[in-house]
Amino acid sequence: GAVVSQHPSRVICKSGTSVKIECRSLDFQATTMFWYRQFPKKSLMLMATSNEGSKATYEQGVEKDKFLINHASLTLSTLTVTSAHPEDSSFYICSAVGSGDEQYFGPGTRLTVT
Amino acid sequence: AQTVTQSQPEMSVQEAETVTLSCTYDTSESNYYLFWYKQPPSRQMILVIRQEAYKQQNATENRFSVNFQKAAKSFSLKISDSQLGDTAMYFCAFMKNTGTASKLTFGTGTRLQVTL
């Protein structure tokens, strides 16, 4: 089946630093990947749509200069949280779209900013 | 814009019993998909069931079935013969059918606890 990985699974960083999260489709190519954010005991909120070879499309209210997305290949999208602050602490989940339109989700990355 | 509403923050069911989780949505689209996802404590999102809006027949997957009422914009999930492993957060989700990848809009979730 379609497998999506995320790395790292957990990361702790200091306020003001940047952290990169990788999302990989392991056994299929994904021209489109989505990045979601989930607060504790809350739903998933779409942050941006990542398309291979083009600029990401950000949802309203998401700062594109703070959450940098790069979809450099058909199997890899990265989310970089720049100048992280404690309020950026959250669970970040990616999904990748296979040959149809079904989204396959990664296991998520827990970011803690101290 | 689409909205998805899950009015039951928490539900509890005894093992082997049946439980129904509610979901309503609002959209002006005529062609779309609806989904139920399960998020266990591991946080991995797992697709439970999917319904195409143009199909009148309700989708079923083993112990999971839906009651899709398009006119009422209602999409409930029935879990039969509940098992301890069904304990999880359940999210209802909406996606426009654009022919290509499209974003999911999630409800707020229902936490289901299956008890002995």
Checking if the pLDDT of A100 tops 80, the result is: no
Report pLDDT digits (tens) over A55-97: 999 999 999 999 999 998 999 999 999 999 999 999 999 999 9
Checking if the pLDDT of B32 tops 90, the result is: yes
Q: Which range has the worst mean pLDDT, A20-24, A29-33, A81-85, B33-37? A: A29-33
Q: Which residue from B91, B97, B103 is facing A34, i.e. has the nearest CB?
A: B103
Task: Please compute the mean of the pLDDT values over residues B7-29 and round it to a whole number.
Answer: 97
| Percent of chain B clearing pLDDT 70 (strictly above) | 100
Optimal mutation site among B103, B112, B113, interface A, most CBs of chain A within 10 A? B103
Question: Please, which pLDDT band fits residue A53 given cuts at 50, 70 and 90?
Answer: confident
Task: Please compute the mean of the pLDDT values over residues A30-59 and round it to a whole number.
Answer: 92
Beta carbons of A105 and B105 less than 8 Å apart: no
Beta carbons of A108 and B103 less than 8 Å apart: no
Task: Please compute the mean of the pLDDT values over residues B6-14 and round it to a whole number.
Answer: 97
Checking if the pLDDT of A98 tops 90, the result is: no
Query: What does the pLDDT read at residue B66?
Result: 98
Which residue pairs, CB below 8 angstroms and at least 24 apart, start in B23-27?
Answer: B23/B74, B23/B75, B23/B76, B23/B77, B23/B92, B23/B107, B24/B72, B24/B73, B24/B74, B24/B75, B25/B73, B25/B75, B25/B92, B25/B94, B25/B107, B26/B2, B26/B73, B27/B2, B27/B3, B27/B73, B27/B94, B27/B96
Task: Please compute the mean of the pLDDT values over residues B76-88 and round it to a whole number.
Answer: 98
Q: Which residue from A101, A105, A107 is facing B101, i.e. has the nearest CB?
A: A101
Residue B114: exposure state from Cβ atoms within 10 A (0-12, 13-18, ≥19): buried
